[in-house]
Structure 1
């Protein structure tokens, strides 16, 4: 197993570890995004629904970024984004939406609602490296 040094500027020596909440109803996609994020030295918590994400955010406010699938049962990633941005406690957390469907009006709507970025699945390590600049 090789370790990458430098380059991404996130979570390096002496820096706080960045905590990302990954939300996806697909266990395969959840595992893949968690693996990519962890390989970039992020601390990752995964949940399988927007509802569970909001519950976790209520209990653990030290999340630095949320990355969520767009299409999920009960609550879409778009609805999760809106709830986060409407909350005075959570609105500063950057939210990144991911989807396997490239639908320009959906992407634009998410970005207009406050999403930091919109990633197309499958998410690649190069996508994750650009997320570092989005974290406040």
Structure 2
């Protein structure tokens, strides 16, 4: 009760400013609250998984991230590596992760899905792709008290 669709919070991770802004615009058009990060490390900071960050995991949970959507190809940490870190964290592993890429590589897609990604989407994302994300988010809200 009280969790309305406009309160759904997505963490969008992409090293490309243009892609990040485009994704943010599409998500906001679908009534999501959006936090963006330019790479995997910044995403982990937002989630409270980096010790250097002043934010604790408890504070990150207070942000109530309902979904993480990340680019696969990023410098420093790939979207796959980010997925692995999230799924290894007891406090974050239930958050759905969607990976997106401009490269359609079946083995990469299969590995991401096998290791916990909810979905693998090909870029450029369309508004219809963003609408499909709601299926993953609403499923996780059922588990909230």
Q: TM-score higher than 0.5 here?
A: yes
* Shift in CA distance, 134/14, structure 1 to aligned 2, threshold 3 Å: closer
Q: Deviations over 1:103-135 (max 9, x none)?
A: 011000000000000010000000011111101
What's the counterpart of residue 101 of structure 1? Answer: 103
Task: Say if 2:13 is the partner of 1:23.
Answer: yes
Deviation, 1:14, is 7.0
Q: Secondary structure at the match of 1:74?
A: coil
Give the direction of change, closer, same or farther, for the CA distance of 1:23–1:103 in structure 2 (3 Å limit): same
Higher helix share: 2
Partner of 1:9: none
Q: Structure 2 matches for 1:1-136, cutoff 5 A? A: 15=4, 17-58=7-48, 59=55, 60-61=60-61, 62-135=64-137, 136=140
What SS class does the counterpart of residue 122 from structure 1 fall into? coil
Q: What is the TM-score normalised by the length of structure 1? A: 0.88
CA deviation digits over 1:66-119, x for unaligned, max 9?
A: 000000011000000000000001000000000000001100000000000001
- TM-score, structure 2 as length reference: 0.83
Q: What do you get for the CA RMSD once the two structures are aligned?
A: 1.3
Which ranges in structure 2 are unaligned for 5 or more consecutive residues?
49-54, 141-145
* DSSP 3-state at the match of 2:116: coil
Runs of 4 or more above 6 Å deviation: none
- Residue ranges of structure 1 left out of the alignment (5+ in a row): 1-12
